[in-house]
Amino acid sequence: MPDQVYRGSVLAGDDFEPVRAAVIVEDGVITAIEEDSSAPDRWICPAFFNAHTHLGDTVAMDCATGGDLEALVTPPHGLKHRILAATPRPRLIEGMRSSIRGMQATGTAGFADFREGGADGVT
C-alpha cells in the first residue's frame, strides 16, 4: 500500500515527454510512476538545489550598476564590498533570511552558500 500518491504531469522516459501520471511513494521512496490520464493539470518535479549562492550579497543584488567585473566585485573597493561594508549587520542578516525564504517559496529545497568576510561571514 503506497504511503502517498501524487497525481499530475511528469517528464517521463529518455525523451522527457510530458505525461499525466500518478507518482507512487512508499517509505519516502518513489516506487512507481504510472500513466493516469485523469491526473490534474499540475506539474510534479523534484525540488531544486541552488549549488552556488552568495546570500551575504543579497543587499546588493538589486543595485543598478555599470562597470567591469573588477569595479563591481574586487575587494576591498569594488562596489559590492563598499555596499557590504556600509550595511549594518542586522540588515545583512535579514537580507540573507529573506533570500532563504524566497528560495523556499519557489521550490528550492537546498543551497550551497559561498561566504566571504572571514570568521564574521559564517557566524
Look at the pTM and tell me if it is higher than 0.85: no
Whole-number mean pLDDT of the chain? 91
DSSP string, 43-73: B--PPEEEEEE-GGGGGGTT----S-HHHHH
State pLDDT tens for residues 11-48. Answer: 999 999 999 999 999 999 999 999 999 999 999 998 89
Q: Give 55-65 pLDDT, tens digit per residue.
A: 989 998 888 77
Confidence category of residue 116, pLDDT binned at 50, 70, 90:
confident
- Burial class (CB within 10 angstroms; exposed 0-12, middle 13-18, buried 19+) of 27: exposed
Cβ atoms of 22 and 58 within 8 Å: the answer is no
pLDDT at residue 111, as a whole number: 95
Residue 66 pLDDT exceeds 90: no
